[in-house]
Amino acid sequence: MKDRIVPIVQSVPRSAEIISMENGLRSLYEEIADILDQDEVEKFPSYFIDDCMYQVVSRENYSEALPQAAIYCDGIHMVRDRVTALRETQVFVPRIWRHFISGVRITGISDGDIHARANFLVTEAMSDADPTVFLVGQYLDVLVHEGGSLKFKQRLAVFDNHHVRRSLIFPV
Amino acid sequence: MEHAMAAQTAFSNEGERHWPIEGWTRVPYWVYTDPDIYERELETFFYGPTWNYVALECEIPERGSYKRSWIGERQVVVVRGENDAIHVWENRCAHRGARVCWKNKGKEDSFTCPYHQWNYALDGRLQGVPLKRGVLKKGGMPSDFDNAQHGLRSLSVHVEGGSIWASFSENPLPFAEYCGEDVITNLRRQFPGKKLRLLGYNRQRIPGNWKLYFENLKDPYHATLLHSFLITFGLWRADTQSESIPGEAGHSIMVSRNVGKKKTEAAAEIARFKESLELEDSDTVTPRPEFSDGKVVAITHFPSVVVHQQANTFGMRHVIPKGTDSFELAWTFFGYEDDDEEMTRLRVRHANLYGPAGFVAMEDGEVLAESQLGVHHYGHRAAVIEMGGREVERQDHMVTEVLIRAFYKHYRSMMKL
């Protein structure tokens, strides 16, 4: 079983190069948030390399190093299967989600792997109710260059919520 | 005026609480919404002479390891004490009622209430009261204050193959007797005494009445229709050899078999069978044979937990009521300590079926929330529970609601409704 990559957190110089890389990451994160918010989840797997890890996991499991995750994808096939299930089999009440991302930060660079983190907040609105805060947490990411663009080797959406309210339907 | 209002309230309650004349084939919707009924349920079931699931032994591996848990709306602490004895006590200081334990999990030599520093041993005995004899011969506790009379309130405890159960009753039935023969046999099948390995948690808050969750796991009929993931990949289908077994004390068992993906006559009738659907990662729906009987078993152990074994995932689904219209569903996933690497990998993968984002369980959260919204302010209406007949005896198929009928037979006798 593949373990989660432990984030590298070192003192990264606040150089023009790093700041420019962070701007690039911020733009990438906003692009992904946008495709999710616009219900274009089919594009989501294209942001991952084949040998990837994608998890939406509670802080409880993450801090105890327990392997279980609410959404657990080991490899691109499992990421694509999430999309297939969402579109083909799953029954849920339609609603609108909106991602808010802040604090994008590169925390370490090692052998071409970029370790980065960011905060996320996702709101949820049912068609007959006002939006509520659905999930809040932190992305812990490892990105690599592949085919001229940055892709996720690992994306962990570690949420601070004690509970998931009702259902977790879409990727975060 | 006051008198008139009281009379009217009494009258409307009485009216709402009339159980339909058809008996256990009907469930009046006020059982999901009436606050008085809810309070009585907590007293009758969770705080009464029942056994409640609280934790797994592998969560508290060492002396002093503890975990906070719940029985109904009451918080308890589960602790491993001296000589591996397991203790469960109310998380409520014997002095002023503050919570003694402030963390969900950890390890301590003893517990000290932060408010006035009363100190308790791992088993809940009161060990020390600061300034008990006063200061400069002034103040302090009365000379006849006896620590032995002021410990944390301890519960009765039973450990069954690594699963920990507690009761507020001082003289509960022996655990196996409370379970009944079918349930204890199936529990021991999954908890044969092998050491367990904790794989993780999922916590979900479902905006529905807590009983709806038990009914969901007493309803194999819905699983053959709603969950196309199960149906399509042969993990749970109406055309497999199966059993619906009502048990003692509100428990029940559903038995099925993993048969794989195939098209049959019955499947053609099931609208959500997706013949063309393929997964890229077929591991997620391919169990490695594990039990020689080839069965898939879901036990509803009333009132606190659903125990599942599906594909290679094992889980305790702890039901924690939070008012008439909400409950926490705390999933604990586990395997055996002697599982090989590959089995652990499969258990973690197969758990994608369950939890708030589960390919299967997500849909249950959705329909239960919608059920609660549907019955809101329709207390004078009732559910119709006639699939598979009107009786309450075990059946050898899953096109039935017999387990729900048997449950309401028990519920009505306990609640005197």
Residues of A in Cβ contact (< 8 Å) with B355:
70, 164, 168
Residues of A in Cβ contact (< 8 Å) with B280:
77-78, 80-81, 84
| d(C-alpha B319, C-alpha B316), whole Å | 9
Which portions of chain A are predicted below pLDDT 50? none
Residue B168, domain member (yes or no): no
| d(C-alpha A171, C-alpha A81), whole Å | 12
DSSP string over B176-189:
HHHH-HHHHHHHHH
Torsion from C-alpha of B118, B123, B124, B129, nearest 10 degrees: -30
Given a contact cutoff of 8 angstroms between Cβ atoms, the answer to whether A90 and B367 are in contact is no
What pLDDT band is residue B265 in, cutting at 50, 70 and 90? low
The partner residue sitting opposite A68, judged by closest CB among B104, B351, B359, is B351
What does the pLDDT look like over A46-57, one tens digit per residue?
Answer: 999 999 999 999
Same domain, B209 and B303: yes
End-of-domain residue from the set B109, B140, B159: B159
CATH of the domain at B137: 2.102.10.10
Contact pairs from chain A to chain B, CB under 8 Å: 120
Q: Which two tokens stand for residue B133?
A: 């004899």
Given a contact cutoff of 8 angstroms between Cβ atoms, the answer to whether B351 and B335 are in contact is no
What does the pLDDT look like over B302-345, one tens digit per residue?
Answer: 999 999 999 999 999 999 999 999 999 999 999 999 999 999 99
Sheet holding B243-246, edge to edge: A164-165, B196-206, B327-336, B313-321, B305-310, B295-301, B252-257, B243-246
Measure in Å the smallest separation between the Cα of B352 and chain A Cα atoms: 6
Same domain, B154 and B227: no
What does the pLDDT look like over B124-183, one tens digit per residue?
Answer: 999 999 999 999 999 999 999 999 999 999 999 999 999 999 999 999 999 999 999 999
Q: Average pLDDT in the B174-198 region?
A: 98
Same domain, B137 and B260: no
Query: A168, B362: Cβ pair inside 8 Å?
Result: yes
Measure in Å the smallest separation between the Cα of B14 and chain A Cα atoms: 33
What lies within 8 Å, CB to CB, of A134 at 6+ separation is: A97, A122, A123, A124, A165
Same domain, B128 and B252: no
A110: β partners: A113
**How much is the pLDDT for B4?**
44
Q: Which two tokens stand for residue B335?
A: 């395997």
A24 vs B: CB within 8 A: no
Overall domain count for chain B: 2
Residue B151, domain member (yes or no): yes
Same domain, B113 and B229: no
**Does B289 sit behind a cis peptide bond, omega within 30 degrees of 0 on the bond before it?**
no
DSSP string over B395-406:
BSSSS--HHHHH
Residues of B in Cβ contact (< 8 Å) with A61:
200-201
Residue B45, domain member (yes or no): no
Residues of A in Cβ contact (< 8 Å) with B366:
91-93, 166-167
Strand pairing category for B252-257 and B295-301:
antiparallel
The partner residue sitting opposite B348, judged by closest CB among A67, A75, A163, is A67
**How much is the pLDDT for B8?**
42
DSSP string over B340-395:
-HHHHHHHHHHGGGSSTT-TTHHHHHHHHHHHHHHHTT-TT-EEE--TT-S--S-B
The neighbour count for residue A100, using CB atoms within 10 Å, is 13
What pLDDT band is residue B10 in, cutting at 50, 70 and 90? very low
DSSP string over B4-56:
HHHHHHHHHHHHHTPPPTTGGGEEEGGGGT-HHHHHHHIIIIITSS--EEEEE
Residue B176, domain member (yes or no): no
CATH of the domain at B406: 3.90.380.10
A71 vs B: CB within 8 A: yes
**How much is the pLDDT for B241?**
86
Same domain, B236 and B365: yes
Same domain, B151 and B250: no
Measure in Å the smallest separation between the Cα of B375 and chain A Cα atoms: 17
Q: Tokens 């994008």 belong to which residue?
A: A104
Same domain, B217 and B125: no
Kindly list the structural domains of chain A, giving each domain's residue range(s) and its CATH number in brackets, ordered by start: 16-159 (3.10.450.50)
Task: Identify from B348, B353, B373 which residue to disrupt to test chain A contact, counting A C-beta atoms within 10 A and taking the largest count.
Answer: B348
Residue B2 has pLDDT above 50, yes or no: no
A78 vs B: CB within 8 A: yes
Query: B205, A166: Cβ pair inside 8 Å?
Result: yes
**Range list of H helices, B200-298:** 210-216, 220-223, 228-232, 265-269
Query: B356, A168: Cβ pair inside 8 Å?
Result: yes
Rg (CA), chain B: 24
**How much is the pLDDT for B268?**
63
Query: B200, A89: Cβ pair inside 8 Å?
Result: no
> Which element (helix H / strand E) includes A126?
strand A113-126
**How much is the pLDDT for B146?**
97
**Range list of H helices, B201-287:** 210-216, 220-223, 228-232, 265-269
Same domain, B219 and B121: no
Measure in Å the smallest separation between the Cα of A105 and chain B Cα atoms: 28
A126 vs B: CB within 8 A: no
What does the pLDDT look like over B232-253, one tens digit per residue?
Answer: 887 877 778 899 999 999 999 9
Same domain, B266 and B409: yes
A160 vs B: CB within 8 A: no
Measure in Å the smallest separation between the Cα of B72 and chain A Cα atoms: 17
Residue B197 one-letter amino acid: R
Q: Mean pLDDT score of chain B, rounded to an integer?
A: 93
Same domain, B110 and B235: no
Residue B263 has pLDDT above 80, yes or no: no
A102: β partners: A119
Q: Is A70 left (phi over 0), alpha (psi -120 to 50) or beta?
A: alpha
Same domain, B141 and B232: no
Residues of B in Cβ contact (< 8 Å) with A168:
355-357, 362
What pLDDT band is residue B292 in, cutting at 50, 70 and 90? very high
What does the pLDDT look like over B267-289, one tens digit per residue?
Answer: 666 666 777 788 899 888 899 99
Query: B202, A1: Cβ pair inside 8 Å?
Result: no
Residue ranges making up the domain that contains B153: 57-159
What pLDDT band is residue B73 in, cutting at 50, 70 and 90? very high
Residue of A nearest to B329 (CA): A163
Strand pairing category for A48-58 and A149-159:
parallel
Residue B41, domain member (yes or no): no
**How much is the pLDDT for B272?**
67
Residue B365, domain member (yes or no): yes
End-of-domain residue from the set B101, B133, B159: B159
pTM of the full structure: 0.95
